[in-house]
Each structure stands twice: as C-alpha cells, then as structure tokens.
Structure 1
C-alpha cells in the first residue's frame, strides 16, 4: 500500500470528527425526551446507590427522579421494560481526566498540565474542558454519567504523566517549586456543549515522595513549606487592602494563587492529597488537624494499616483496589483487601478507573468487582461508584442516587454492572436518553471488512 493511501486513510478516519455525533447528538437526543415527558423504567432490579429494590419502578420527569419503588408506571408515561435487567445510578469517575485530555502524551491535547509556578493553585481545569472530546462517549458506554476532573501533577495516577510537564516543575515564578497542581471540576457526560456542573470543587496537591521531590527532596521540607504557605494565605486574607497598596511584606505566591487558597485555609474547600505510604497518611492527617483543613486522600494504598486513623479523621479516600503490588517503597504493604478494610473501618471510599480514569475510566466498575471478590460488600462497591463520590465532593442527593429529587442519571444494564460482559441498553443523563455510540464504534463499523473497501484502502 502506497504512503499516499495510508495518509488518505488517516485523514478519512479523522473525518469522523465530533460532527459525526451531532446527527444523533444533543438535538436528536433531547427531542426524544421532552422536558415534560414522563419516563418509567419498570420491572428491573433497581440499585438505588444505597439499597436494592426488586422489580422496581423508576419514574423520571424534567431531568429529575420523581419516584422509585414498587408498583406500576403512571398513566401516559413512556415505559421502558427492564425485566431481567439491572437499573443503576450513573457512575461517577473520580480523579479523572475526562474532557481535559485527548492523547496524554501529546501536549497540545492535554489541558490538565500546568508548568507555570506563577500560577499553580489558581489553575482551573474547567476552562480547558472539551465537551466534544472523543473520550466522553466511550466512558458513557461504561455507565459513567459524571466525573471529577483533576489537574495532573507529579505522582498523578496515570496515563502518560511526565513530571517535567506538570505543576511544580517550572522554573522561576513567585514560589519555586509550586506545591499545588490546581483546582478540580465536576462535569456531566451528556451530549451537548454544556458539560460543566461545578468548577473549583477541590484543590489538588501531591504529598509523599512526589511532594517531597517538589519541595527539595525531603518530606519534612514539604510539610514546613505547606504550613508557611497557609500562614501567608491567612495573612493575605486579613490584609488585602494593605497588599493592594504594597503595604504588606513580600509573599511567596501570586495574588491569584493566594486568592485560590483562601477556601482551603479556612476549611471550606477540600484538598485532594495524593499519598500512598501509611506513615505519610498519618502525617497528612496530623497536618490537616493542625491547620484546620479538609483533606481527601487519593491513592492510600497502605491505608488499611491506618484505617482507624483515617476513619477518626473523617477523611474520605479515592482508591484503585487493584493497586495491590509493592511497585515502590511507598506501596510496600499494598494489598487487594484495602478497599474492604477501609470500608469496614467506616471510611467513605470512592473507586477509581485505571491510568488517570480517562481512556480507561469505564474500568472503574471492573475494579469495583475485584474489590467485591476481596471482601468489599456488593452494596458498598456500588456506593463507591455512585453515592459516595457525590457525598465526598459536596453533591450528596444531587446525583449518584436513584432517589426523588436527584438528577435522573440512570443506566439500564443487561446484567450485573460489575460483571465485565454486562452492557448498557439505555443511558439517561439529567433525564435525557443518550445515544449508545462512540467514535471507536463508528470506526469499527466504517472499516470492518466490506465490499468495496474505502478508497484509501484499495490496492493501486
């Protein structure tokens, strides 16, 4: 095959751009379910996120769950028969890059990286989100309807993350190095241009080995630098007028970063802390206690060793239950029972996908199934994909549950959603039924064996 034919094929493949989805996209999807239409899903096994209802009826209207329970569909409702199937809340991807990156190793497509130390804590991923990202429909076909998108940093959980391309790696600026990666955002995965649900839901920072490297090589240096940073933020918050007229001593952060950190310092915005080693977890909890800040632990592979401390501190954990090998000295005690042990201790957990939870975000349900096989109760695994992420990020009752008043994010599965062979037969986000397609499926259908082959694939 000549090079010109190969290039032509590549161009043809790329021609399946976001517009390819628009023909069955937001307008078509929304016309199928008007704002006043009542939809009833009947006869399925309903996992509400907190309980199970056999042969249940889920009623949706105007983007919300109206009711869930036993009985029959209301008169005039559009009925979806879910007999023999499972009905579940849409899953929530946490610690995710969905909508923020297309190809992790191609810098121009990655909006999750920030290498400037003049702007670190104030980096806001919500401004770089792409609602036409090819990753969103793929994740949606895995039952994911919402995601918490986080900036990348040294120690991030996956994909092609290079430390020199992330926060804390730049030269110069107000504070070199920068301790903070930026601020996370919540998105919804429905087709259409408006995917942002809430920006700035949490600050993100690495601790442990990655944080120590940023701060100069020692864990103790990072903790002292962090405490000094919080002191400067509080000083600035008390003396903004003096700062504006240059009547305040020089501070190590830019004004934008100082402003962004005020909610962290006063305990109203949580700090997502990437940490793995048990001793580091205990020190992070001590730091949170001393500084009066709220922390969300991300990773915590050795969390089971200090599960009681984590529970007593009320710190939730974002974890991948299949991180069960001692890949380095921070994870010497990693084990597959971590999720079960943390849950048994009373820790609120959320289960992540793999490699940054972007291209492999849909694998979070497989990870949850693995956690069940290692002792996590089934109901706790479902909650870790649905209700718990919403609770952790201050959205309890708004999504992540099939409950009256919650967003109508509902997925009808062919079987148990934690079984890899189960597939969705219907996906609703905010009550709007979504098309069950994606770019990979369109490419499959276009380039599967056919006669004649597309021009770029014909022999000369």
Structure 2
C-alpha cells in the first residue's frame, strides 16, 4: 500500500494538469516590459498564454481566480546556463550525461538528446521559481563542448522546446589547454574547424577529410559556421574578449555570446558596439586563474551601464546539474553590488530569453507564454519562495523530493 501511494504521488508530481483560463487577481505585477510594475494588477491566462495584463480585469465565465493578495507576480526565471536534467547524482559514479570524454564526439554532442525530465532536480528547480533553462554538455577532447538545448521545467515528455540551440566553444585558457597549451594554436584551430564545417560534405565525400574535424562533428558545426545559430564562447580575460571582437568584425555573419567574461568590464564599450551579450556571474570576483586577474563584483553593473546585454548565471566551471535554482540568488547579489533591481531581475528572465531567441518568454505581456510565478516576498531575497508556479498556463506541483523528505522526517508530522 505504501509503495502504491508513493507511485501515485510521484505520478502526481510528474504529470501536469491541463491548461485552463486563470485570472491572477490583485498582484504586484512585474511585466518586464513597457508596462513596468503594475500595483494591484491582474494577469489573465487563456490557453497557456497571457491574454491580458492590467488593473480591474473581469474574470471570464468559468475562469479560476487566483488571489495574489498584493504579492509579487512575475515571469518565471530562466537559468541561462545549467546542466539540469543531464545528471541525477553528481560525483557519485552514476551516469553523467553532461560530461563527454574522449575525442570521438565533441561538436556533435547534443544536450537535448540526453535531457531527462524525470530527474529529481527538475521539481527542485521548479519550486524555486525557475521555469526554463539552457543546458549544455562539457567535452574534454576538443575546443567544442557540443550543442546546447532550451528546456522547460514542467517535467513533461516534450520539455525540450528547442534543441541544437547553440554551440559551446572554449576560446580562453581551457581551449588553449586543449590545443597544445597555447592561444597561438587555439585560434588557427578554431578557424580550421570553421572551414571544415563550411566545406562539409564535399571534402569528406572526396576522401580529403577535415583538417581538424571528423565528419560527424563537421556536420554538426556547419549551421553555426554559416551563421545559422550562435556560439556560446567561454571567455574570461579582456585580451581574449578583444580577440573575439576582432574576429567577429572580420566574420560579421557569425554570432557570439560570451559566458564568463570576468574581465568584460574592461572592454564594456567595445562589447556594446559589437553587440555581443555576456552571461555573467555576479560572484566571480576572485583571481583564481590568470584570465580572471581583474575580476570584480560590480562587473554586471559596469556592463549594464555601457549598454551591454547581460544575463546572470554561474561562471564556466561552476555550472552543475543541481544549482540552476540559485540563479535568483545570484541576481540578488548583483543588486547588492549596485545593479538596479529591475535590471537584475530581467537578467534572469527576459534577458536569457532574448539572448537565446525565445522571444515569447520572459515578459508578462499579451500573447507571451504564461510562465508565471506568485511569490510570498521579493523574488530576489533568499527568504522568499513561490506560492504558485505556472508553466504555459498549467499550475505546477510545489512538491519535490526535498519537500517529501522534509515532511516525512519533520517531528511535527509524526504520529504519537
């Protein structure tokens, strides 16, 4: 009987309900758009999308009314870089689909194919107000880590809503270490890989082969080498970032987003002119390696002041499968170091959505997908938590493995 009950509870957690018409009434609505913040506002959700946002919206017949009671109502958070869904238990010897060893596959690695919507980290992440994430693998045998995907935290079988969304490439110290230990070899290797991809399949069918890539990786890299997707580049130092800016100037069809950018503040104006966004970690302030010697806590502040598009996420090397939920805490730290609240919140909602091309997410505006969170306090405060989470208009369970264990072993719940 206990086994049956546990199975039924697990099914309830994993199986979303159907979308319905919902009016969220009397909230502090953070639209993330032209509407700004609407006090005592309402959000109407119809068929999984935002139908109306404003004050005194009448509930349609049959709509369910959810009282916000003046609390924050916001778009769901978007974890701009994570490995959530790629590993169940890190560091335990259990399978970890985020790590790719050897040199058989690198650029062709596909995070979307490995994503598991049933891992326990999904509900743990969701109940913290994170409804979407960008995920990517990490390779060790090449400068290319593989193709990332965009995923929902709904736990449904169709959670991957965009696969092969970007290509991760190492063009800093890590990349240099994979090409003989020198940046002098790194950039020629990157350019050779792009040529291999652009000339696929002709040079492979002719028997010539690639200068750097095998046929599988060349095929995977080709769309990105032709400007049909963007490269997520792991870079930290100002010198490396300037090299990327020059490369983009010489190759205007290619698209780049920097992940890391510890010294990006030193070249903020140049990044703004080059229109290269930066996914930054507001806690990366220690010179733990040479490419981060000038890291500082107000990096995001200075980038924003220069007009650089930013998102907030853990720095390269600190991304894992279990901490995507902490992205809002990182944004709160950015506020503590001078970033305006609305900019910091946008950097974990609208900013990632726009950077990754998910233009129907990140705002509470008409026709946007209804990823909506109601909070019991300021969403950037660690003491706040969601009281309701909706993904595409479907209210999600606020139960996770952690809450189950909490309730099971809470002395107050024990029968005497």
Report the TM-score range of the alignment, normalised by the length of the smaller protein: over 0.9
* 1:307 and 1:345 in contact (8 A); partners too: yes
* In structure 1, distance between residues paired with 2:50 and 2:167: 31
- Cα–Cα, structure 1 residues 180 and 68, in superposed 2: closer, same or farther, change >3 Å? same
Q: How does 1:296-375 map to 2 (within 5 A)?
A: 296-353=257-314, 355-356=318-319, 358-375=321-338
The structural deviation recorded for 1:215 is: 0.6
Aligned to 1:52: 37
Aligned to 1:224: 188
TM-score (norm 1): 0.84
Q: Secondary structure at the match of 1:197?
A: strand
* In structure 1, distance between residues paired with 2:89 and 2:266: 36
* In structure 1, distance between residues paired with 2:9 and 2:371: 20
Say whether residues 1:253 and 2:253 are aligned partners: no
Q: How does 1:370-449 map to 2 (within 5 A)?
A: 370-396=333-359, 398-449=360-411
1:143-192 deviations in Å (ceiling 9; x for gaps): 1000000112xxxxxxxxxxxxx332xxxxxxxxx220100000001132
* In structure 2, distance between residues paired with 1:428 and 1:357: 25
The structural deviation recorded for 1:439 is: 0.2
Please identify the structure whose Cα radius of gyration is greater: 1
Aligned to 1:141: 127
Mark the runs of 5 or more structure 2 residues left unpaired by the alignment: none
- Cα–Cα, structure 1 residues 339 and 17, in superposed 2: closer, same or farther, change >3 Å? farther
Q: Secondary structure at the match of 1:121?
A: coil
Say whether residues 1:43 and 2:14 are aligned partners: no
- 2:177 equivalent among 213, 223, 228: 213
Mark the runs of 5 or more structure 1 residues left unpaired by the alignment: 1-11, 153-165, 169-177, 454-460
The structural deviation recorded for 1:353 is: 4.4
Q: Secondary structure at the match of 2:319?
A: helix
* In structure 2, distance between residues paired with 1:329 and 1:20: 53
The structural deviation recorded for 1:242 is: 5.9
* 1:265 and 1:291 in contact (8 A); partners too: no
For these two proteins, the number of residue pairs brought into alignment is 408
* 1:93 and 1:353 in contact (8 A); partners too: no
* 2:102 and 2:140 in contact (8 A); partners too: yes
Aligned to 1:271: 231
Say whether residues 1:189 and 2:153 are aligned partners: yes
- Cα–Cα, structure 1 residues 333 and 389, in superposed 2: closer, same or farther, change >3 Å? same
Say whether residues 1:22 and 2:5 are aligned partners: no
1:347-399 deviations in Å (ceiling 9; x for gaps): 11111147315322222111111111222111111110111111101111x11
* In structure 1, distance between residues paired with 2:269 and 2:278: 13
Cα RMSD after superposing both structures: 2.1
Q: How does 1:170-189 map to 2 (within 5 A)?
A: 178-189=142-153
Q: Secondary structure at the match of 1:312?
A: helix
The structural deviation recorded for 1:231 is: 1.8
- Cα–Cα, structure 1 residues 17 and 144, in superposed 2: closer, same or farther, change >3 Å? farther
* In structure 2, distance between residues paired with 1:75 and 1:250: 61
Q: Secondary structure at the match of 2:12?
A: coil
- Cα–Cα, structure 1 residues 189 and 250, in superposed 2: closer, same or farther, change >3 Å? closer
The structural deviation recorded for 1:26 is: 4.7
TM-score (norm 2): 0.93
Aligned to 2:48: 63
* In structure 2, distance between residues paired with 1:259 and 1:243: 10
